[in-house]
Amino acid sequence: MFGRIVARIPCGRVFRTISVVDEAWVIGGRFTMLDRIGAGGTSRVWRAYDGAEERYCAAKLVRRRGRTSVLRAIREQALRSAHPHVLTPYASCTAGEDVLLAMDLVSGGSLETLLGDYGRLPPAYAAEVLDQVLAALGHIHGAGIVHRDVKPANLLLDPSPVGAPHVRLADFGIALGDDGVRLTTTGFAVGTPGYLAPEVLDWDRPGPRQDLYAAGMVGWRMLTGAGDPEPRQRIGARPEGVPPMLWTVLSHLCDPDPGRRFVDAAAARRALSSCDLELRFPVLTLDGEPLQIFEHLGPPPPHP
Amino acid sequence: MGVAAETVDRNRALQTEWYGEPLGDRVRRLLDRLGLSQSALAGVLGLSAPMLSQLMSAQRAKISNPAVLHRLLAVEELAAGPGFDAMAAAEVKERLAAISAEQAATTSGLRAAPSGRVPAGGAAPDGRDAAGAAGAGGGAAPGGGVADGAPVHAERPARLVQALLREVASAAEIEAAAALIGDRFPDLAELLRVYGNGRTSEAEAHYARIIRNARGH
């Protein structure tokens, strides 16, 4: 079934082979690849069983570009990025032309899924999600990393029958190069235009405040129920039922002039907390239905 | 009767009130007619497979996202249309993809109209090809200045070249390289500077100018 077999791949210092055992696809003698869970056409994320830690994980295959220091770069990045709202690899391994990054399995879908299911979200809910995203951004920015691709599809959620959101910022555009973590040089090949800040569209020179802009656009989607924003989207008039202060926070995040945005994620969080919104459980949608975050993956397929 | 069964009964009654019949019946008929799987239809409607399943089994009563209801109606309209039976599979697929891409008309008034944006329908086919090859972004071409009289497809190739250059070198490196060759190869140096360090609008204008000249316009 998996016909193409890469002969010898280095995993640590030991050379191992990708072996075919009862049609199982095992990478690095450790990760049994079970089913593809990445939604997009380009992402290659699989549910895998990690035989070393005896647990299921998400195994992301990333094309390896440089030859040196790849694993070191990943490890360093993971260490710097450990945070409850950031999804980073806990293990990695080279696999032929790819690097396998093992991460926690997050099975409640993404904020994109949630927006598809419910449309506009209640303001207190949107504020909570936004706060968690900003907490994640504050952390990675503190570590010198710019995400560059903050959007609902990259905000994963844990399942919750009462709708309690726990956001994990995922899918760092891990630009692996010989110079280590080159997170700041990739141009238009990544990113969804509507979430790219004007200064990035014009100059392609990224910075932390572009992530704040993108977070603002995520907030705009939650509060309006609209689809993906256009480039240079104007947030427009405050929708009915959205507290004026929350809308003001959003307008500061989405300001086309980076100099007029919040100075950092922490400042945005402070402004958000002054909106004084309380999220009650179980969460209800705007039309009074229970807001639940479903389990999306189902039971794992059988494996040896 | 158990609580769960009571909930289902209540929800089926509500669905009949809101949608004319329980959603399970309504959606299953559509699946048969279209020959689609439940998860494929969920994808077209823009809702998750578990949510569609909950609605069809009346574990939940209401379609909360108005855009989803809008697309459901559009799919039903397609399936009920007089020409549907004669439609080739590929055309059905295309129509479904178009419905899937539709957004509820709730936000059109909010859309920004970037200056220099080319009216709909003006996109050149090769512009699309470039975007497809890049696999980048998708959807609407990013706004931004397009040079006067420039063909619309100047936007994407220029951005691709920018992205490519900026992938392999930093701004300082590009500037140094341009300085190095500037005396002997001024055009090449300009190219590096425009695409490597210039504004996107400059790159697009440069691309449009060069291509237009090359074609003898």
Token pair 């855009």: residue: B67
- List, as ranges, residues 131-190 from A with C-beta within 8 Å of B: 175, 185-190
Tens of pLDDT, residue by residue over B7-16, are 999 999 999 9
- Is A301 within the bounds of a domain? no
- Name the band, by pLDDT with cuts 50, 70 and 90, for residue A86: very high
Q: Which residue has the higher pLDDT, A106 or B214?
A: A106
B114 pLDDT more than 50: no
Q: Which of A69-73, A117-121, B185-189 has the lowest mean pLDDT?
A: A69-73
Same domain, A269 and A125: yes
Please count the CA atoms within 13 angstroms of the CA of B69 that sit on its side-chain side: 13
Which of A103, A119, A147 terminates a domain? The answer is A103
* Residues of chain B numbered 145-184 and touching chain A (CB < 8 Å): 159-160, 162-167, 170-171
Six token digits for residue B78:
């397609």
Domain annotation covers residue B87:
yes
pLDDT per residue as tens digits for the range A87-136? 988 888 888 877 888 999 999 999 999 999 999 999 999 999 999 999 99
Q: How many domains does chain B divide into?
A: 2
Regarding whether B134 and B206 lie in a shared domain, the answer is yes
Closest CA to B103 of B59, B140, B153, B129: B140
Q: Do A296 and B50 touch (CB under 8 A)?
A: yes
Q: Is A137 in the same domain as A83?
A: no
Token output for A124: 């207190």
Residue ranges making up the domain that contains A162 = 111-273
pLDDT computed for residue B170 by the predictor = 75
Q: Give the model's pLDDT for residue A199.
A: 87
What's phi and psi for B78, nearest 5 deg? Answer: -60, -45
Can you tell me the distance from the alpha carbon of B25 to that of A120, in angstroms, rounded to the nearest whole number?
A: 27
Name the residue among B61, B143, B163 with its Cβ closest to that of A289.
Answer: B61
Q: What is the mean pLDDT of residues B185-198?
A: 85
Q: What are A28's two structure tokens?
A: 């690095």
Token couple for B96: 């479904």
Percent of chain A whose predicted confidence (pLDDT) is above 90: 59
A280 lies in some domain: no
Same domain, A132 and A227: yes
A176 in a structural domain: yes
Enumerate the residues of chain A whose CB falls inside 8 A of the CB of residue B141: 193
Render pLDDT for A17-48 as a digit per residue (tens, 0 to 9): 444 445 688 999 999 999 988 754 445 889 99
DSSP assigned state of A9: E
* pLDDT tops 70 at residue B109: no
**Residue B64: closest C-alpha in chain A:** A118
- B97 within a domain of the structure (yes/no): yes
* Single-letter amino acid, residue A149: D
**Alpha-carbon distance A78 to A164, whole Å?**
26
Cα B70 to Cα B89: distance, rounded to the nearest angstrom? 23
Cβ burial, residue A41 (10 Å; 0-12/13-18/19+): exposed
Q: Are residues A260 and A208 part of one domain? A: yes
Identify whether the C-beta of residue B71 lies closer than 8 Å to the C-beta of residue B48: no
Outline where B35-88 has alpha helix (H).
38-45, 49-56, 66-80
| Together in a domain, A241 and A148 | yes
With respect to residue A264, please indicate whether it lies within any of the assigned structural domains.
yes
For chain A, what is the domain count? 2
B51 with B129, same domain: the answer is no
CB–CB of B163 and A204 under 8 A?
Answer: yes
The residue whose two tokens read 């969804």 is: A192
The alpha carbon of A220 is separated from its chain's Cα centroid by a whole number of angstroms, namely 18
pLDDT digits (tens, 9 = 90+) for A175-231: 333 333 344 334 343 567 899 898 888 876 678 999 999 999 999 999 999 999 999
CATH number at A124 reads 1.10.510.10
pLDDT value, residue A59: 92
pLDDT on residue B196 = 83
- Could you tell me if residue B171 is inside a domain? yes
Is residue B78 within 8 A of residue B96, CB to CB? The reply is yes
Higher pLDDT, B143 or B89: B89
Let me know whether B7 and B55 are in one domain.
yes
Q: Do the Cβ atoms of A201 and B200 come within 8 Å?
A: yes
Q: Do A294 and B54 touch (CB under 8 A)?
A: yes
Say which range, A118-122, A136-140, B47-51, B138-142, has the weakest mean pLDDT.
B138-142
Residue B109 within any structural domain of the chain: no
User: Per the domain annotation, does B81 fall within a domain?
Assistant: yes
Same domain, A153 and A240: yes
- Output the pLDDT for position B159: 76
CA dist., res. A217 & res. A221, Å (int): 6
Same domain, A164 and A241: yes
Domain of residue B33, CATH code: 1.10.260
What mean pLDDT is reported for chain B?
Answer: 76
Contact A224 B134 (CB under 8 A): no
Q: Are residues A37 and A156 in the same domain?
A: no
Would A149 be classed as within a structural domain?
yes
Give the C-alpha separation, B129 to A97, whole Å: 27
pLDDT tens profile B27-37: 999 999 999 99
Residue A140 counted as domain residue: yes
Q: What is the CATH number of the domain that holds A35?
A: 3.30.200.20
Last residue of a domain, one of A78, A103, A128: A103
Structure tokens at B204: 């697009």
Q: Which domain holds residue B95?
A: 3-103
Q: Are residues A88 and A211 in the same domain?
A: no
A296 domain-assigned: no
> Residue A114 burial (CB < 10 Å; 0-12/13-18/19+)?
buried
- The mean pLDDT value for A259-278 works out to 96
The Cα–Cα gap between A160 and A37 comes to 19
Is residue B125 over pLDDT 70? no
pLDDT surpasses 60 at A266: yes
Return the residue in B23, B39, B62, B64 with the most chain A beta carbons within 10 A, the one to mutate for interface testing.
B64
- The torsion angles phi and psi of A141, rounded to 5 degrees, stand at -65, -40
Q: Say if CB B79 and CB B96 are below 8 A apart.
A: no
Confidence of residue B215 (pLDDT cuts 50, 70, 90): low
Same domain as A124, residue A72: no
User: Quick check: is B115 in a domain?
Assistant: no
State chain A's mean pLDDT as an integer: 83
Tell me, yes or no, if B49 comes closer than 8 A to chain A by beta carbon: yes
More confident residue, A73 or A271: A271
Instruction: Flag whether residue B46 sits within 8 Å of chain A, measured between CB atoms.
Output: yes
Q: Are residues B15 and B94 in the same domain?
A: yes
pLDDT band at B78 (very low <50, low <70, confident <90, very high): very high
Q: Do A89 and A66 fall into the same domain?
A: yes
How far apart are alpha carbons B56 and B14 in whole angstroms?
A: 13
Question: Which is higher by pLDDT, B22 or B134?
Answer: B22
- In a domain? residue B95: yes
Judge whether residue A146 has pLDDT over 60.
yes
Claim to verify: residue B96 and residue B9 sit in the same structural domain = yes
Same domain, B9 and B94: yes
In a domain, B176, yes or no: yes
For residue A282, being part of any structural domain is answered with no
Please name the member of B48, B104, B142 whose beta carbon is closest to the beta carbon of A109: B48
The average pLDDT across B56-73 equals 95
Q: Which of residues 92-111 of B touch A (CB under 8 A)?
A: 103-104, 106-107, 109-111
Dist CA A76 CA A74 (whole Å): 5
Task: Choose the catalytic residue: A50, A149, A171, A255.
Answer: A149
Q: Would you give the end-to-end CA distance of chain A in angstroms?
A: 15
Quick one: A82 and A159 in the same domain? no
pLDDT (mean) for A272-289:
94
pLDDT at residue B107 in the model: 39
Contacts of B200 in chain A (CB under 8 A): 201-204
Let me know if A228 is a catalytic residue. no
Best-predicted range by mean pLDDT among A94-98, B63-67, B102-106? B63-67
